[in-house]
Structure 1
């Protein structure tokens, strides 16, 4: 009898020890929790940080643009008595443009400062600005004003207009070799539209006939770079 009592007492003591060391769990809201363990609180919901406001860019339809003089110029090339090719350009052009590709409409008015003429040679510049050629003192500004924009597949392909030079106005057509619009990161995401154009004119139509009879070419090739910033 004493041996049974001692055995029973030993078993009870052993079970008590095991229960004391056991990691009992209970169910709470479908989750288990160890006894003595603090119930984890749900993480506080954090609001997403506000993102920087994206500046909206006006649609290109029916909008006005102002020419960027830093990216608008006219460069010319003319055969020099069958030898080399004389080149130069006019820079700092100013003006305005209306552009509506959805309605296939556009217009542009450009002022060309004749005194900005630059060939890389001061002596040649001085001669070209004289009365023999551009007569910059009497006619300090040339002008191009469009009469029609031509489109194909939503892109400008040609611009017809009138070129006023030396006080005379004649029609010219500018062929677009490329034209595009983009949002400029340098101008606070403002929309910029423009492209490259080319044409060849007969300078004698504007009364510039110096040296033609001596063999100096009358045809002048023009390459025009235009970029305009949306207003």
Structure 2
């Protein structure tokens, strides 16, 4: 557990930075020193979710202002990513529903303000594939629990951004979670499914 200053404003600012620093150290220790380093661009990165609502419709929303770091070397087929997800950034388009999801019934945002994803293995296609990265294994820490997940790539590419004036790499990934594993099981006994679809969009700028 990170020790934070008593001032809540300072704490809210320092906690993601401190956690990102620790995760970055762990990431750098697992990849080649020759891999290029990229910082996640918060404006172009998010984690969106979809969950069935009593077989009638789909509730959806997203988490925004993600931070983190990517290490990527396609020639050596090396990749790593750390990602910090602020729970209070949740947005479903309905403020009342957002507050319910932040409450103790679901994410307990005051107690667990951050979720993190740290990759353990990247999978690469052959050199002629239009999708160089096919999936990423890693550990998702959320609501005080850590469990492995696999993110399947639907897009992945690198390009030179004339706006940022540097190379940018990123992609779209998807996975399905059983929310009960992270002790978020409210209303499952009433018929709301435990299965949650995640759609992850990441873009990171070369440093």
Q: TM-score, normalised by structure 2?
A: 0.81
Deviates more, 1:72-81 or 1:148-157: 148-157
1:145 counterpart = 2:118:
yes
Which residue of 1 is the match for residue 40 of structure 2?
Answer: 67
1:173 counterpart = 2:146:
no
Runs (5+) with no aligned partner, structure 2: 1-33
Q: How many positions carry a matched residue from both structures?
A: 170
Match of 1:191 among 151, 157, 167: 167
Give the 4+ runs in structure 1 shifted more than 2 A.
Answer: none
Which residue of 2 is the match for residue 214 of structure 1?
Answer: 190
Per-residue CA distance 1:31-58 (angstroms, 9 max, x = gap)? xxxxxxxxxxxxxxxxxxxxxxxxxxxx
Which residue of 1 is the match for residue 67 of structure 2?
Answer: 94
Runs (5+) with no aligned partner, structure 1: 1-60
1:204 counterpart = 2:185:
no
In structure 1, how many angstroms separate the alpha carbons of the residues matched to 2:48 and 2:173?
A: 11
Structure index of larger Rg: 1
Which residue of 1 is the match for residue 89 of structure 2?
Answer: 116
Question: With CA pairs under 8 Å and 6+ residues apart, which has the higher RCO, 1 or 2?
Answer: 2
How far did residue 83 of structure 1 move? Answer: 1.0
Q: TM-score, normalised by structure 1?
A: 0.73
- Report matched runs for 1:1-150 at 5 Å: 62-150=35-123
Match of 2:139 among 162, 171, 177: 162
